[in-house]
Amino acid sequence: MSDIYVADRAVDARNTGEKSFPFMSLLALAAVGFITILTEVLPAGLLTQIADDLSVSEAYVGQMVSIYALGSLIAAIPLTKMTQAIRRRPLLISAVFGFLIANLLTAVSPYYWLIMIGRFIAGVSAGLSWALLAGYAARMVPEEQKGRAITIAMVGTPIALSIGVPATTFLGTLIGWRLCFALLSLLAILLIVWIATKVPDFPGQEASRQQSLHSVITMPGIRSILFVTLTFVLAHNILYTYVVPLLANAGLEERTDVMLMLFGMASLVSIWITGVYIDGKLRQLSLLSSLLFICVAVAIGFFPQQTLVICAAVVVWGFAFGGIATLFQTALARAAGDATDVAQSMLVTIWNTAIAGGGVLGGLLLEEIGINAFSPALLGLLIPAFVATWIAQRHGFCNH
């Protein structure tokens, strides 16, 4: 990391205007992550309601999630590159404004095609906001607190998955799916006010300091982190997308909601542990996450119909996955230095590719071979991820 960047980081931390650790500012970033995830996955929880109201099939409603991911996938890198010189707070507010418009459009439009346009806009906003969050959080604090800051900024993700989605799905049964999306728009308005009043502003990068995609991807450690992200998240999404057949095989199909809640709670504990230890133990936590997930893959392979084993595997899986986004983003921020936003946009693209790939690959395995194919497939991804993490001890997954 350059001396210039270290100096700028110190200035950024002093310019926050906060004498203590900036919890409220970081929680505002966490709220951005919360609304991003909730906007993405809410249609899945309200699938039948939306399909009946719009007079389309549930498969068509499912594409509301797909087009969101597509928007993130397409927009993250080019939009981040195009906006490097723009001040950070107005840019973040613009991203949240995109959620406001997209969710409002979803709430009021009677037309499926118009809702899909709104969903694409939301995906574009998500691609930009995800690329901003880690770098923004890192600039608020001194170097030695960077991991902790990123952890707090990312806590909205597991909260949205473990609490937000079930809560809004239940709320949808009471007030209807359109009001749920309208409430997300209201949340976006409140969040814009929060960001404008509590989150410090930072300048964008001068043109002379902006780096090309090639120069960033060739930085030491960057490719290792992106490779591990791809393999780990691909393995996770194969399992998460088709968790119902896995649970059904162990007689737990009717307890899917309980299993996912256990997964979510374990994820919350994991991200708390990550926040406590990440600044000094990033390497160990990264290796432990891969190792725990490997144990999960072995367990579902050898004991696929043992109820207690599968229950334990779900909890261990939650521990393995909960802090992983924070670990990857912190490792990337350390490796990329002042090119963090560009590097994070690459991670967003890799992450969404893995989400899409997990659904496709998992579906092929399930249809062609069956649920027994999941364990060797996961091991085929996770063992290389563990090895790559182990090798990247000097650049990438290293302690500072």
Tens of pLDDT along 249-304?
A: 888 877 777 887 788 889 888 988 988 888 788 899 999 999 999 999 999 999 98
User: How far is 160 from 175, CA to CA, in rounded Å?
Assistant: 19
Residue 77 to residue 69: CA distance in whole angstroms = 14
In this structure, the answer to whether residues 146 and 268 fall within a common structural domain is no
The answer to the question of residue 208 being in a domain is no
The reply to whether 170 and 273 lie within a common domain is: no
Cβ-based neighbours of 50, under 8 Å, separated by 6 or more? 43, 61, 64, 177
In a domain, 267, yes or no: yes
* C-alpha separations of 34 from 3, 56, 174, 244, 328 in Å: 34, 28, 22, 24, 18
pLDDT in tens, 214-224: 778 888 888 99
Q: Do 304 and 157 share a structural domain?
A: no
Quote the CA–CA distance of 335 and 141 in Å, as a whole number: 17
Residues 189-242 have pLDDT tens digits of 999 999 999 999 988 776 656 667 777 888 888 899 999 999 999 999 888 877
Tell me, yes or no, whether 159 and 304 share the same domain: no
d(CA 93, CA 99): 10
Do 50 and 77 lie in a common domain?
Answer: yes
Residue 43 identity: P
Select from 169, 201, 233 the last residue of a domain. 201
Which residues span the domain enclosing 312? 214-391
Q: Is 400 part of any domain?
A: no
Which tokens hold the place of 367? 């249809």
**Domain-terminating residue out of 177, 201, 225:** 201
For the segment 21-35, the average pLDDT, to the nearest whole number, is: 92
Output the domain CATH number for residue 24: 1.20.1250.20
pLDDT of 7 over the 50 cut: no
Are 234 and 142 found together in one domain?
no
Within a domain: 246: yes
Tell me, yes or no, whether 396 lies in a domain: no
- Global confidence as pTM: 0.77
Q: Is residue 206 part of a domain?
A: no
Residues 175 and 247 placed together within one structural domain of the fold: no
Asked whether residue 195 falls in the same domain as residue 83, the answer is: yes
Residue that finishes a domain, picked among 175, 201, 227: 201
Q: Contacts by 390-396 with C-beta closer than 8 Å and gap 24+?
A: 390/287, 391/224, 392/221, 392/224, 392/225, 392/228, 393/283, 394/220, 394/221, 395/220, 395/221, 395/224, 395/335, 396/220, 396/221, 396/222, 396/224, 396/225, 396/331, 396/335
Residues 222 and 190 in one domain: no
* Residues 192, 222 share a domain: no
Which residues, in sequence order, are CB contacts of 179 under 8 Å at separation 6+? Answer: 107, 172
Number of domains in the chain: 2
Residues 185 and 319 in one domain: no
Query: Is residue 197 located within the same domain as residue 223?
Result: no
Within a domain: residue 1?
Answer: no
What CA–CA distance (Å, rounded) separates 105 from 95?
16
Residue 68 within a domain: yes
CA distance 274 to 285: 7
